[in-house]
Amino acid sequence: MIIFAVTGPWAVYLELNILFYIAGFWGLVVGFIVLPLTFIAVPWYAGIEMGDWFPLLLTFGGGISALIFLVIGIFLFEE
């Protein structure tokens, strides 16, 4: 859960910052309204167009690794 608590807000902040850089204030507002789409599209855009793959690694790598540890924890403490 700590991984979710750290990487989630950090990824949202980073993605909205990238969106603000790309599309300005109104792009940021629209991106915040459609946050799930922003959460998926912006890291790929940053990687392909800008050459910065860190947002993709943070978003998907943090989420996948947190899910893996969560599933392991569930199986370990199952009665």
Non-local CB neighbours of 61 within 8 Å, separated by 6+ positions: none
Placement of tokens 């860190």 in the chain: 54
pLDDT at 79 over 80: no
* Domain ranges across the chain: 2-76
10-26 pLDDT tens trace:
999 999 999 999 999 99
How much of the chain is helix, strand and coil, in % rounded to 5? Answer: 90, 0, 10
For 17, the enclosing helix (H) or strand (E) is: helix 2-33
**pTM score, two decimals?**
0.78
